Amino acid sequence: MRIAVLVSGSGTNLQTLIEKLHQDETIGIEIAVVISDRQKAYALTRAKRAGIPTHVVKTRDFENRVDFDAEISRLIEHYTAELVVLAGFMKLFQPPFVRKYKNRIINVHPTLLPAFPGAHPVADTLTYGVKFTGVTVHFVDEGVDTGTIIAQSVVPVLDTDDEESLHNRIQVEEHKLYPQVIKWYAEGKLKIKGRKVIVR
């Protein structure tokens, strides 16, 4: 299965997908392209190092967000990717894009959704004072972090945590869960029943 990975930042999740999926020939999952909305994203360096084609698509180069989405869609089609994997991609898609790729876009989010959606999830988690948080991998729908949940892992919040220490421990779990979910997807193990995803 060919996948497109979309990034905006450091790309530690991308790195894990490169090592655990792309570079393991027994698995049959190829990262066909990495697309970033930020020229400076370190994730682009990681992709290039692994010999994966990269593209930068900036919102400011387009008149509106539908056109921005259309350029990303053009690249996904050009590279014949079946699954769109958001790995720290910090832009929201417009409804036409989400409808076109219904149940073919997945995202990883550093909380137990529906708690703390949005752009500052780990800071919001600490401010609220919850004792447990975690990781959610979900399909992307037209809302903000509201799509059907595929899998979650729990991470305890420690009294001593700051945003960096908590995010680091959450990322350890992201790096286990995200490749696993993509493998399940490729193997056809995910069955969607209403708001529930069953892993067969």
Residue 153 binds ligand GAR (CB under 6 A): no
Per annotation, catalytic residue among 55, 78, 109, 167: 109
Q: How far apart are CA 158 and CA 146, in angstroms?
A: 27
Candidate list 108, 137, 177, 182; residue touching ligand GAR; CB under 6 A? 108
- Nearest distance from residue 174's CB to ligand GAR, in Å? 6
Residue 121 binds ligand GAR (CB under 6 A): yes
- Nearest distance from residue 48's CB to ligand GAR, in Å? 15
- Nearest distance from residue 87's CB to ligand GAR, in Å? 5
Choose between 91 and 183: whose C-beta lies nearer to ligand GAR: 91
| Interactions with ligand GAR, residue window 27-66 (CB under 6 A) | 43
Active site includes 78?
Answer: no
The window from 5-13, 25-33, 63-71, 98-106 that contacts ligand GAR (CB under 6 A) reads 5-13
Q: Footprint of ligand GAR on this chain (CB under 6 A)?
A: 9-13, 43, 87-88, 108-110, 121, 171, 174
Catalytic site positions: 109
